[in-house]
Structure 1
Amino acid sequence: MKTQTAKEIADNLYTGVVSRFGCPRVLLSDRGQPFMSKIVKAMCEILQVTQHHTTSYHPNTNGTVERQNHTLAQSLRTYCNDTHDKWPSLIPGIMMAFRRSVCATTGFSPFYMLFGQEMKIPFDIALEPKDSLPQDTRVYIDQFLSNIKMSHKIALQNEAAQKEKDKVRHDQTARVRTFAIGDLVLLKVHKFPKGQSRKLCDKATGPYRIEEIGPNYTYGIRRISDHKKQASLVNATNLQPYIRPDPTRQRLSQEDQNIPPDPDSDSDSDPEVDQDDEVTPNVDVEATQQPTPTPQQTPDPATRYQIQKVLRGRRKHGRREMYIKWLDGSCTWEPDTCFDQEMSDFINSRWTKQGKRRKSYFN
C-alpha cells in the first residue's frame, strides 16, 4: 500500500482477503488511525466481522504479525541491493518460501494447513515423473479432506504443547504488576517533544487513578490533575505504582537532630536529674516539651531483616539473587522478591545488578 489511508485499507481488505478467503470472524489490528476510521468500522459491520484493537504501545497482543514482519524485514535485508530500490520485487519470492516452510509450533507449513498438500515449486515439478494415468476424483477428494483434518488435528496438539513450553519459559522471568481500583499509578512516556533529549525527559507522567480493570492485565485510568480519562485501556507493562511524597519519611538533617535545649526547662538546667527517670506531671515541663518532640529514628532495613552482610550476588532465570549471611550465622540464597521496596532500594544503592559490590556493605 502506498498511502495507507482508510479507503485504501478497506479496499485491500475486500479484494485481498474477503474476495479470496471469505469473511473473517475477527479482525485484530493496532490502534492506527486508518483502522479506527468509520470506513473500516462500517465495512466490518456490513460483513459481520468483530473488530478488536491492541492496547497502545503493547505489540505483544498481535505477536504473530509482529514476528512475521520481523522475519520479512530480515529476509529483505539479506537479498536487497545496495541502492534499496528493488525490494518490492523480492516480496513474492520471500513469501513463497515462508508459505512452504514448516512452522515449529504446528509442525506443518502454512500452505499445507490451507490446501491439504505441500506446495510444488519449479524444482519439484522438474523432477516429478509424468503421470498420464487418470485418477479417480472421489478417491482424490477423500484423501484431500483426510489430509486436511489430520493436519489440523496434529497442528492443534503441537500448538498446545508449544504454548505450554512458551508459558513455562515466560513465567520464569515475567513480572506483571497488578493494580486495584483506586490505586495511583504513573504512565510510561513513549512520545517526547521534538528538540528535547529523551535521556533528560521524564520517563513517566501522572499520577493517574485506576478506574477500570480490563482483560489481560489492562486498566482504564484517569489523570488526577485535570480528571481527563485515557482514551483506551493501558497494559500493566506501561504502568508503575505511584508513591505519594511523605514528609515524615524524609530523614532529618543534622541541624534538626541537634536541637539546642530550652533554657526555660527546669529538667534540662538541673544536671543531677536522671533523664531516664520518670518525670512527675508538671505544667511547666509539659509546656516546654511540646514544641520539641523527640524525633523517631527509622530502623535500618538490614537490622529489620536481621541481616549481617551480603556476601555475593548472582542472576538465575533472569532474576537477581543475593547470598545473605544472617545474624544467627546461617547463609542462604534469597531472591529480590522476598524483600520490600525499601530493602530492595537499600541493596541497589550498594550492589549492582550483576551482584558486584558498590562500596562497603553493612560492616
Structure 2
Amino acid sequence: NILVMTDLFTHYAWAVPTKDQTAQTTVHALWTHVIQPFGCPARLHSDRGASFESALMYQLCRCYGITKSKTTPYHPAGNGGVERLNQTLLHMLRSLEAERQQRWPELLPELLQAYNNTVHSATGYAPSYLMFGRHLRQPVDVNLGVEQGSRCNDLGGWVRDHHQKLSFAYETARKNMAAAVNQNKKVYDKRAQALPLAPGERVWIRDRNRR
C-alpha cells in the first residue's frame, strides 16, 4: 500500500508506504509526513475511501482547522492531481529493472526526489522550488560540479531578492496553471456530450457495487 498526497499549488508530492489502509494508519501518515514537518493545510481533499471518511480523520481536521472535502462518487477526475501522480509513479517504478522493482519501498524516496525536483508542466517550476523557495542541491549536481547559488554577506539584501524571485515564481505558476486548466477544459469539452435531461425526469443509475 502507498498513501499518495500532493500539494495542489506547488504539486509537491509525498508517497508513504503503509502496512494497511486503516484510518489510524492513514491519519498517522498524514500527521507524520505532512502536518508535523510542513504545518496544517487549509484544506484536505480526498476520494471517498473509508480511511479518509472515518471519524478519526474528521476529528483530526477539526483539531487543526482543516476543511475536509471529497470527490463526487465514481468520478476520480475530481482528484485529478493525485490520479496523475499515481500514473507517474507507476511509470517510474516500471522503468526500473525487475530486481529493483522488488525493492520499491526503499527506492520510493529516490523516485519522489526526482519527481519533486523536475519542472512540472502545469506550473513551469519544480515542485520543490515552489515549496521551499530554492533549487535543492542534488547528488547529480555534486557529481557534475554544478554550483547553485552564491555566498551572500548582506542578509537583508538576500531576503529582499529572494522574496522578489519567489513572488514572481508564484505569480507565473498561477498564470501557467490557469492556462493549463483552460486548455484541459477545451479538450474535455470537445469530447463531452450534453445530456438533455429535464427537471423531474426519471433516469437509470448504474450500481457499480453490485456483482
| Mapping for residues 15-164 of structure 1, pairs under 5 Å | 15-82=32-99, 84-126=101-143, 127-128=145-146, 135-164=153-182
SS at match of 1:28: strand
Counterpart check, 1:6 vs 2:23: yes
What code does the residue aligned with 2:168 have?
Answer: M
- Give the aligned partner of residue 168 of structure 1: 186
The equivalent residue for 2:6 is: none
Q: Which residue is 1:183 aligned to?
A: 201
Contact between 2:93 and 2:101, CA under 8 Å: does it hold in 1? no
CA distance in 2: counterparts of 1:133 and 1:54, whole angstroms: 47
Distance 1:154 1:170 in 2: 24
Partner Cα distance (1:141, 1:132) in 2: 14
Any gaps of 5 or more consecutive residues in structure 2? Answer: 1-17
**Structure 1 position 84, deviation (Å):** 4.5
State the distance in 1 between where 2:194 and 2:43 align: 27
TM-score normalised to the size of structure 1? 0.50
Q: CA offsets, 1:309-361, max 9 Å, x none?
A: xxxxxxxxxxxxxxxxxxxxxxxxxxxxxxxxxxxxxxxxxxxxxxxxxxxxx
Q: Which segments of 5 or more consecutive residues in structure 1 lack a partner in the other structure?
A: 194-363
Cα 1:144/1:83, change in 2 over 3 Å: closer
Deviation (angstroms), 1:179: 3.8
Tell me how far apart the structure 1 counterparts of residues 139 and 100 of structure 2 sit (CA, whole Å): 29
- In the alignment, the residues of structure 2 paired with residue 34 and residue 131 of structure 1 have an alpha-carbon distance, to the nearest angstrom, of 43
Q: CA RMSD for the aligned pairs?
A: 2.2
Tell me the residue number matched to 2:11.
none
| Alignment partner, residue 307 of structure 1 | none
TM superposition shift of 1:163: 1.6
Where 2:45 maps in the other structure, the secondary structure is strand
Larger Rg computed on CA atoms: 1
Q: Distance in 1 between matches of 2:45 and 2:90?
A: 21
Q: What amino acid is the match of 2:47?
A: D
More helix by share: 2
Residues of 1 paired with 2:148 and 2:44: CA distance? Answer: 43
Higher strand share: 1
Deviation at 1:102, TM superposition (A): 0.8
Q: Percent identity?
A: 32
